[in-house]
Structure 1
Amino acid sequence: MECVEAADVNGYRSKIRYQNMGEDYKLIATITPNTTNWTAKVVVLEKTSARTAYHSPTKYQNVVLMDMERNKVQATIYDTNIQAFQDQLLPSKTYLISNAAIRLTKPQYRSTVGEIQWTISGRTKVQELQEDHTAFISSTYVFTPFDRLHEHMDSKTDISIIGVAIDIKLKRFIHTRSGIQSCIQDVVLVNQRFETVLLTMWDQFVEKECIYISDNFNKKPIIVASHLKVSSFSGVSISTK
């Protein structure tokens, strides 16, 4: 792998692209709305369930991508393209992506991964690579130990955890404080110190992730979860809500 460097405005050296097997790949940090004819090599960190926008019938799905220099970007898929990419851009998989639409987002709509957003459409070229970057992905997370979860209780802090699923409860319906009915399901996780914690799945996570965990429960799946909130609901519990 050959790296090409250029000086930034502060005089420091930064890698702007890299070459692999004769291909010239751009790093996420160097791709702007004015960049043309580019290809990026990325790993999928997250792929959310499809959702409907608050003020319109538009459906959207967010995907968080990371390149080999740990630069991240949020990409969004809209409407009919969600079904088209259902079996692509899967978490932990590696892809070559070419010429997605690039735009600056308004401050109120910006994600935690920056002001640039990619849009994946039928014009975007996506090619899966048979590469395993599991260890690389894991190294990007900062996991909160189970015995320190109470430090984040009822705060605005997002946390990430890792644990083995050892039990899953029956799903149930509750009414939130706003009067909306939600479906929740609890998963019991254990860590390497045999400490347990309750992970409460809400709504769309019950219909997707909980079904996957149930179907693979005999394998004792290892669960990595991020963007969680620690709450005092049913004691100290972690919530996807």
Structure 2
Amino acid sequence: MGTPTRKQKFVFYDSEGSRVEGIIFNDDIPRMSQILQVFKKYRISNAEVRPIPSKFQTSELTVQWVISSRTVIDEIADDDEVMPVKFCYSKFTDLVQHMDDKTRSVDMLGVVISALERKTVIKNSRQSDVQKFVLLNEE
């Protein structure tokens, strides 16, 4: 947000719980993001590996894979159940602690009861698309 560059981020997990951030930029987003689906297994090669600049880190991850149209992504056919992913959920009441901390991300589990309209926001002459969601809190 706040830059003219469009980006889509992913967090990839392996079966041992290791994580890495993936990111796709600009014109590669519509081509490459459709290939990736939640909880599927992939073999990914030819992605550029680079450190995440500290001002763009949104979690404790410091390295990212830059996925482009040159990146080869092959789905791994597997009859096993969905690969387990370990989340550490935060309570709704604890979210206030993280409001101004852009260096960390938190895991939440909730039910979206309403998705508000996507809006374009211009701040400091930079354009960003934002969308708000209303979650049901049934802690």
Q: Report deviation, 1:156.
A: 4.1
Q: Distance in 2 between matches of 1:114 and 1:190?
A: 28
Match of 2:18 among 71, 89, 94: 71
Match of 1:144 among 67, 75, 90: 90
Q: Distance in 1 between matches of 2:95 and 2:24?
A: 32
Counterpart position of 2:50: 103
Q: Report deviation, 1:186.
A: 5.0
> Which residues of 2 match residues 169-188 of structure 1 at below 5 A?
185=132, 187-188=134-135
1:91 equivalent in alignment to 2:38 = yes
User: RMSD of the alignment, in Å?
Assistant: 3.5
Over 3 Å counting, the alpha-carbon distance change for 1:171 and 1:70 in structure 2 is: same
Q: Distance in 1 between matches of 2:118 and 2:68?
A: 37
1:133 equivalent in alignment to 2:82 = yes
3-state SS of paired residue (1:161)? coil
Q: Distance in 2 between matches of 1:66 and 1:186?
A: 25
- Contact 1:60-1:82 within 8 A present in 2 as well: yes
Structure 1 segments, 4+ long, off by >6 Å, are none
Letter in 1 for 2:52: T
Counterpart position of 2:63: 116
Match of 2:108 among 149, 161, 179: 161
| TM-score when normalising by structure 2 | 0.66
3-state SS of paired residue (2:107)? strand
- Contact 1:77-1:120 within 8 A present in 2 as well: yes
Over 3 Å counting, the alpha-carbon distance change for 1:113 and 1:128 in structure 2 is: farther
Q: Distance in 2 between matches of 1:106 and 1:85?
A: 23
- Contact 2:47-2:66 within 8 A present in 1 as well: yes
- Contact 2:22-2:65 within 8 A present in 1 as well: yes
Deviations 1:99-142, CA, capped at 9 Å, x for gaps? 211123333334424322211112211011234425x12xx111
Gaps spanning 5+ residues in structure 1: where?
1-50, 196-241
| TM-score when normalising by structure 1 | 0.42
Work out the number of aligned pairs and report it.
Answer: 127
More strand per residue? 1
Q: Report deviation, 1:97.
A: 0.4
Q: Report deviation, 1:75.
A: 1.5
- Contact 2:32-2:69 within 8 A present in 1 as well: no
Q: Report deviation, 1:159.
A: 3.6
